[in-house]
Amino acid sequence: MGDNVIKSVEVKYFKVPLEGNLVDALHGKHDNFELITTTVYMKDGRCGTGYTYTGGIGGTAIVDVLKNDLIPQLIGKEYTSPEVLNDYMNQSIHYVARGGIASFGISALDIAFWDMKLKTEGIAIADYFGTRNKKVRTYYGGIDLMFTEKELLANIECQLAKGHTAIKIKLGKKNEDEDIQRVKAVRNLLGKDAMFMVDANMIWSVEQAIRMAKRLEEYDIKWLEEPTNPDDYEGYAKIGQATTIPIAMGENLHTIYEHKLALDIARIKYPIPDCSNVCGITGFLKVSKLAKERNLVVSSHGMQELHVNVLGGIDNAGFLEYHSFPICDYTIEPLKIVDGYIEPALTHGVGVEFDWEKLEIYKS
Ligand SMILES: [Mg+2]
């Protein structure tokens, strides 16, 4: 065993304020996001950093499960691989925390193990699988339900000026006509060929989702995201059968088994996992494989600064969400959007190096 042993893990918690009126149908207003980072140190000096995030709630519980439960079981343990340690962590906490807070904690540690592994091997994650994508297609994901139509369009114009060419907006207004009017206005602004998605954040019943999907069909919607409760896989299947618009989900599925049900029972067309809550890069790659076996691409939710690099190494990469939680503003290397694409990092490791000085004032 020698020096190939986990010596310590440093956990940091940041509560980062968000500017603007960021509202979606289910979660209401977001005024901050929580960022939890984990840095793993080996006895021989190797290290790697991972992280997870929340929409402003639950972060301290993630810190607790890391410090009280997950990390104590890793200290002194031999490093094998991210995948083996991922299974170990999942099994150790399965009974109490399967698929919930534990998935977020395991994600942060899994990303740290990947970072350490790739730094040790001297390779960027986009090169690790031998299929680097030179650039990854991205879209701007707005949290814009409470913007007036004028604000909504102004924000989209601002994003187009930054280099985006594809847009997702929130739906779920009390008045269904208002949702449709916003979609019509955005489609007019974007022009007929631009990629345009919509996201209802689980707010509709199955019947309402079917009704809305039918009304949305004439606007050439790339996908309808989370039309109803993600646990209702059969409801998803009904919605998918009733409309020509492909159905998407994934950010609320935190185990590989849930993603499999989403593909096979809900029959979604766009799986959208998130490395921060699907047990890390290991979990994301498993979803990518399931998607590939079904001839589907895999897209990503949130943490664009990491997912651009992960999607950069996957041969069935779909679409990178450029999320409205700007974790990417707190890293050293800014993301450059050019004509709707971003290039994956060349840096060894997972390619996310935090600007700790910039984050310091939000630490608690
Ligand atoms: Mg969403």
Give me ligand 1 centre to Cα 201, in Å: 6
Please spell the DSSP secondary structure of 47-59, one letter per residue.
EEEEEEEESSSSH
Residue 292 has pLDDT above 70, yes or no: yes
141-154 mean pLDDT: 95
Model confidence pLDDT, tens digit, residues 308-351: 999 999 999 999 999 989 999 999 999 999 999 999 999 999 99
> How far does residue 243's CA lie from ligand 1's centre (Å)?
19
Selecting among 168, 222, 254, 301, the annotated active-site residue is 301
The conformation of residue 75, written as its DSSP 8-state character, comes to T
CA 68, CA 13: separation in Å to the nearest integer? 15
- Report CA(43)–ligand 1 centroid distance (Å): 40
Q: Is the pLDDT of residue 35 over 80?
A: yes
Give the pair of three-digit tokens for residue 272.
């959208």
Q: Where are the strands (E) in 149-276, listed by range?
A: 166-170, 195-199, 224-225, 247-249, 270-271
pLDDT at 145 over 70: yes
Would the pLDDT of 1 be above 70?
Answer: no
**pLDDT tens-place string over residues 172-185:** 999 999 999 999 99
Closest CA relative to residue 149, chosen from 175, 112, 110: 175
Residue 296 CA to ligand 1 center (angstroms) comes to 19
Q: Which residue has the tokens 């290290």?
A: 47
Q: What does the block give as tokens for 49?
A: 């950093």
Mean pLDDT in residue range 235-248: 98
Q: What is the pLDDT of residue 172?
A: 97
Between 30 and 34, residue with greater pLDDT: 34
Q: What does the pLDDT read at residue 22?
A: 85
Active site residue 168: no
Question: Stretch 94-113: mean pLDDT, rounded?
Answer: 95
User: Which of the two residues, 333 and 228, has the higher pLDDT score?
Assistant: 228
Cα(250) to centroid(ligand 1), Å: 8
End-to-end CA distance of the chain, in Å?
36
| pLDDT above 80 (res 285) | yes
User: CA 251 to CA 103: how far, in whole Å?
Assistant: 12
With a cut of 90, say whether residue 257 has pLDDT above it.
yes
Q: Which residue has the higher pLDDT, 98 or 112?
A: 112
C-alpha pair distances (Å), 101 with each of 57, 89, 252, 254: 11, 13, 12, 9
For position 30, what pLDDT does the model report?
87
The rounded distance, in Å, linking the Cα atoms of 6 and 38 is 13
In whole numbers, what is the pLDDT of the chain averaged over residues?
96
Residue 19 has pLDDT above 90, yes or no: no
Q: State the Cα–Cα distance between residues 263 and 291, nearest whole angstrom.
A: 8
Quick one: pLDDT at residue 27?
Answer: 83
- Ligand 1 centre distance from Cα of residue 109 (Å): 24
pLDDT digits (tens, 9 = 90+) for 41-67: 999 999 999 999 999 999 999 999 999
DSSP state of 120: H
Query: Could you give all domains of the chain from N- to C-terminal order, each with its CATH number?
Result: 6-121 (3.30.390.10), 126-355 (3.20.20.120)
How far is the centre of ligand 1, averaged over its atoms, from the C-alpha of 252 (Å)?
Answer: 9
Q: What is the pLDDT of residue 25?
A: 81
Task: Categorize the per-residue pLDDT at 160 as very low, low, confident or very high, splitting at 50, 70 and 90.
Answer: very high
Element (H, E) at 121: helix 101-121
Question: Which member of 168, 170, 286, 307 is catalytic?
Answer: 170
Examine the residue annotation and report whether 170 is marked as an active-site residue of this protein: yes
CA of 157 to the centre of ligand 1 (A): 21
Q: Which residue has the higher pLDDT, 69 or 29?
A: 69
- How far, in Å, is the centroid of ligand 1 from the Cα of 26? 10
CA of residue 29 to ligand 1 center, whole Å: 14
Answer yes or no: pTM beyond 0.85.
Answer: yes
- And the tokens for 270? 């766009």
